[in-house]
């Protein structure tokens, strides 16, 4: 027996978490039940169990914003929340953003990102768009400086910030026109 490994009699083992747990999530308007470990992040549940790979894993520490999704219309970093904590909420990923206005066409922000060339490599784009949708839902962006500040949690390594801000301003101006 390896002396570095502790051995416990069956009746004396320390308690542990259950290996899987049933989690019911509503993602992009669809109800799904997953059998996952209770420590599975929402990001991993979306990507690995639901094949919704538009949400990206960047830093996995809540610092880059690549994993931003909407929960009840508010933006969150999906790498910082457990999937089990999001039961009874409405989760929207980049795959569901186009459905938000009910037209079946691209969301105005998606269209504005295309028109303004607000992406280069595209890795951060899903998180940028979800964050921008949340920013508009919050209603706090009144100026270019506000947009920059409120989008500061989303990093673009390619440096497309000017075009991202322009795209968001275009959509905000459409809403007020």
Q: Residue 6 domain-assigned?
A: no
Q: Give the pLDDT confidence of 77-87 residue by residue, as tens digits.
A: 999 999 999 99
Q: Residue 4 domain-assigned?
A: no
CA separation (Å) from 69 to 4, 21, 57? 43, 23, 12
What was the pLDDT predicted at 4? 55
**Residue 7 pLDDT exceeds 90:** no
Q: Residue 8 domain-assigned?
A: no
Domain holding 49, by residue range, is 21-176
Q: Residue 13 domain-assigned?
A: no
Q: Residue 114 domain-assigned?
A: yes
Q: Residue 128 domain-assigned?
A: yes
Q: Residue 2 domain-assigned?
A: no
What gap in Å lies between CA 24 and CA 30, rounded to an integer? 10
Query: What are the structure tokens assigned to 124, written together?
Result: 């951060």
CATH of the domain at 128: 3.10.20.30
DSSP readout, the chain? Answer: --TTS----GGGPPP---S-EEEEEEETTEEEEEEE-TT-BHHHIIIIIS--TTS--SSSSSSS-TTEEEETTEEEEGGGSBGGGGTTSEEE-GGGGGGTTSSSS--HHHHHHHHTT--SS-SSHHHHHHHHHHHHHHT---SHHHHHHHTTTS--TT--HHHHHHHHHHHHHHHH-
Please name every residue paired with 164 in a beta bridge, in sequence order, or none if there are none: none
Which positions ≥6 away from 107 have C-beta within 8 Å?
97, 98, 100, 101, 129, 133
Domain count, the chain: 1
Q: Give the pLDDT confidence of 146-174 residue by residue, as tens digits.
A: 999 999 999 999 999 999 999 999 999 99
CA separation (Å) from 94 to 34, 36, 121, 125? 20, 22, 16, 9
Backbone angles phi, psi at 86, to 5 degrees: -105, 15
pTM over the 0.75 mark: yes
Q: Give the pLDDT confidence of 116-147 residue by residue, as tens digits.
A: 999 999 999 999 999 999 999 999 999 999 99
Confidence grade of residue 175 (pLDDT, cut at 50, 70, 90)? confident
Q: Residue 30 domain-assigned?
A: yes
């Amino acid at each position: 027996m390896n002396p570095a490994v502790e051995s416990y009699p069956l009746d004396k083992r320390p308690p542990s978490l259950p290996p899987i747990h049933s989690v019911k999530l509503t993602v992009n308007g669809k109800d799904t039940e997953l059998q996952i470990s209770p420590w599975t992040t929402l990001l991993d549940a979306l990507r690995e169990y639901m094949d919704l790979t538009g949400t990206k894993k960047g830093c996995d520490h809540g610092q880059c914003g690549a994993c931003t999704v909407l929960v009840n219309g508010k933006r969150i970093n999906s790498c910082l929340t457990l999937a089990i904590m999001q039961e009874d909420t409405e989760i929207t990923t980049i795959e569901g953003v186009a459905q938000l206005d009910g037209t079946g066409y691209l969301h105005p922000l998606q269209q504005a990102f295309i028109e303004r060339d607000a992406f280069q490599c595209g890795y951060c784009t899903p998180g940028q768009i979800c964050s921008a949708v949340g920013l508009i839902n919050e209603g706090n962006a009144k100026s270019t400086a506000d947009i920059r500040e409120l989008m500061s949690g989303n990093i673009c390594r390619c440096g497309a910030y000017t075009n991202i801000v322009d795209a968001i301003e275009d959509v905000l101006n459409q809403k007020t026109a």
